[in-house]
Amino acid sequence: MKCHRCNNEDESLFAMSSKGMYCRACVGFKRIIVQEDIIVEKQVPPVCDSDYLLEYSLTKYQKEISKQICDNIFDTDILLHGVTGSGKTEMILELIEKCLKEKISILIVISRRQVVLEISERLSHIFKNCKVTPICQGYTSDLDGDIIVATSHQCYRFIDKIFEIVIVDEVDAFPLKGDLVLNNIVQNCCSKHLLYLTATPDEYFLNKIKNNEIMLLKIVIRPHYHNLVVPQVVLNLKFVLYYFLYCFIKQRIKTDHLILIFVPTIKMCKKLNYLFKYFKCDYLTSKTKNKEEIIDKFKNKQINVLFATTILERGVTFTKVDVCVFMANHMVFDESSLIQIAGRVGRKIKAPTGDCLFLCDGVSDQVNKCVKSIIGANDEKMSLVSKNN
Ligand SMILES: [Zn+2]
């Protein structure tokens, strides 16, 4: 017996109900009866064929990647490994345009609800006249559109491989990372090929690349051609780190940059916010009710310093920002999250540089790997640029 939604074949995870056998591995997503014949309904193909409209043009590196995606995605799965801020959304526009023109159904899967809403909004401006449908908590009544953007948790609605092309953003992050059931549910939406986007491919994908099961496309150059900011690492006793943090804030507050401080726990967030209240600060954690309001206040500079847990490591772009990670050696920060955090700095053409400081009270493999990886990407970028000049 096999669950056609999550591929579970473990007998102990099937149970009997009054209507028939169901799968317990994915029952959290609504119970389905396994023996029932599933009527495969293809997603209605797009009806609109608008060209994409951007106010700026892609770099030659981005154009090359876009072309490679369109040339190969109908023959193989692809992993697009782009450094933070390389403009991954821009590089999928040509593929979306092609799908719209050739009436190929396409689904975009994104981890966070807020980002689903933002990308949907953005795509509806880029593809004028097209219906872009976001599907996430609070937006589940309409499942039709030319372009569907959904959280991974909503993909259970689309079992039976109804989309020809599926784009999956941030495969290396929560909630997809390490969740086999959810990964299978996403893959089972797709009848042809998947395009995965990531800034930090994990073991699973590195193995797939090694075994030629997936095509790798890599971009190490941000659109503004500046290097990625390499974090400065300070290793000292914890009470000394408070002093370093104080100095960082005091020095950076003189510039027009925002100051974003990542901390490992909610408790520490509150503590630092209290300690440094003199600097006009606030904090943001998964428990914060008015997240949008606080982010807006920070962007508008009504707050100088924002303390945050890893909740802000991805998906949010601030124009001029310096970043510090307090206790970067804490176990909640792994290589991938530290790369994302450092990648918050210098994303915009208007502000391509900034400061990034990692404060540690112990040696951490993850911190070392992160720094090494960023330096490696910069080296790769330099050799590519010099080769092309
Ligand atoms: Zn299942």
Q: How far is the CA of 4 from the centre of ligand 1 (A)?
A: 7
Q: How far is the CA of 49 from the centre of ligand 1 (A)?
A: 36
Cβ density class 61-91: b for 16+ within 10 Å, e for less: bbeebbeebeeebeeebbbbbbbbbbbbbbb
Mean pLDDT of the chain: 92
Q: How far is the CA of 183 from the centre of ligand 1 (A)?
A: 12
Q: 41-219 and 232-384: same fold?
A: yes
* β pairing state of 132-135 and 106-110: unpaired
pLDDT of the residue at 130: 93
pLDDT of the residue at 29: 87
Over range 223-244, report the average pLDDT: 96
List Cβ neighbours of 376 (8 Å cut-off, separation of 6 or more): none
pLDDT of the residue at 376: 96
List Cβ neighbours of 259 (8 Å cut-off, separation of 6 or more): 248, 249, 252, 253, 304, 305, 306, 321, 322, 324
- Residue 362 CA, chain-centre distance (Å), reads 28
Q: How far is the CA of 197 from the centre of ligand 1 (A)?
A: 25
CATH 3.10.20.600 fits 41-219, yes or no: no
Q: CATH number for the 232-384 domain, one of 3.30.565.10, 3.40.50.300, 3.90.190.20, 3.40.50.620?
A: 3.40.50.300
DSSP 165: E
Tens of pLDDT, residue by residue over 53-112, are 888 899 999 999 999 999 999 999 999 999 999 999 999 999 999 999 999 999 999 988
Cα 347 to Cα 342: distance, rounded to the nearest angstrom? 10
Tens of pLDDT, residue by residue over 313-352, are 887 789 899 999 999 999 999 999 999 999 999 999 889 9
Domain ranges (residues) in the chain: 1-38, 41-219, 232-384
Q: How far is the CA of 136 from the centre of ligand 1 (A)?
A: 21
Cα 202 to Cα 174: distance, rounded to the nearest angstrom? 13
Confidence check: pLDDT of 40 > 60: no
Cα 19 to Cα 39: distance, rounded to the nearest angstrom? 18
